[in-house]
Amino acid sequence: MKICLFTAHSPIGGGGAVILRSLVKHLPGSNITWKYISNQPTAGYEAGYMGTGFMDEGFISAITSTYKMLADQSCPQVDQLVKRLLTEDCDAYWIVSHNEGLRTALELTRVQKKRPVHLTIHDDWSGALAQRSLRYRFFSAIAAKLTLKTLKSVNSCDVISRGMKAYYESLGGKNLKVCHRYLPLDTLGLKKNHQQTHEIKIGHIGSIYDQRDMFKFLFLIRAYAKIKDLPFSLHLWGFQMKGLKIPSALKAHIHFHQDLPEEAAIQELKKCSFVYAMYPMSKGMRTFTQTSLPTKLSTYVQTGLPIFGHGPSASTLSEFLRSTGTGSLWSCGHQSEGFKVLKEVLEVPIGEERFRAARNQYFGEENLHVLKNAFLF
């Protein structure tokens, strides 16, 4: 089976790329060509580079082209992408909905019927991509319409969470499957015992969705550490708060580190007391928090460390922690409740079997089966 995979992002950029690489690597019997648009070619993936996308162009140009794309109007840039993808020697298309990908998938179903089109959605265009963007926030409504139209046109579709599946099904989507990242069982080199230490050292990788929520978390830690007479620190890998004002009381406790390959990052995280995962509390991000899933959770599971979750109680993050038992969630903002969560992640050991069960439940072989069934190999 020859599959043409298209993404409107680099094969190594962000959580979506992490998920895709894990799946592509473990799909024997398939011949996958990864085509992509990005600001520049990616080392090791030069052959698949198709140039830059239009959504990061100058403000007026990007706004105009993106509106036409989402409003299902004539969009020459997308037409050109589709034309080039049609020349690929493949039996099927695998399109990721991010940015230009959503409309590209729709157009591929319109201009040809011979090769099936499979769609992957990691973030809802309307509730996540638009809401998290200052540029495209007002395009949320037309993005929602295009998403539903595309869902009804593609041959098959996988989504990142049960919350997203339920959300799209409520809008009329059908035959949706949930597909997460795949983790081979032998990648879980777990930390056997978690014990209280002489300091509270917190680890985090990737995006911080709302700096205000992170500061609230750190002030909680500061208050708890003062009572316990313990030093504390937050260590962030792969995230830089450029131009953002950090409260003076917290500056000395936040440490920024360069981005690392996952294997190296895991080793650094294992030196921490626990790991931190947050989802924004803002009501405007409700669809995002109820449908997307933090990719960092798949990394955290490999550390064997308790997860301090910080976000809405009705969220995929909350569901993950509740169903796997790998951590606890602080959702109400009250200090007393936050202290309870801290006591749990710092003092209550979590057995290795919990993390292995979490791997099986979320990041196991079922994810490979979803794609094998979609492409019938």
Q: Can you list the domains of the chain with their CATH numbers?
A: 2-179 (3.40.50.2000), 186-361 (3.40.50.2000)
Q: Residue 8: what pLDDT? A: 97
Q: Residue 175: what pLDDT? A: 87
Q: Residue 193: what pLDDT? A: 47
Closest by CA position to 1, among listed 86, 85, 89? 89
Task: Return the structure tokens found at 280.
Answer: 């924004």
Sheet holding 31-36, edge to edge: 31-36, 2-7, 92-96, 117-121, 156-159, 176-178
Name the CA radius of gyration of the chain, rounded.
21
Q: Residue 243: what pLDDT? A: 66
**3-state percent breakdown (helix, strand, coil) of the chain, nearest 5:** 45, 15, 40
- Residue 240, φ and ψ in degrees, nearest 5: -125, 130
Q: Residue 295: what pLDDT? A: 96
Return all residues near 278 (Cβ < 8 A) that are at least 6 apart.
Answer: 208, 209, 210, 213, 214, 217, 309, 310, 311, 317
Q: Residue 132: what pLDDT? A: 86
Residues of the chain short of pLDDT 70, as ranges, are 190-197, 243, 377
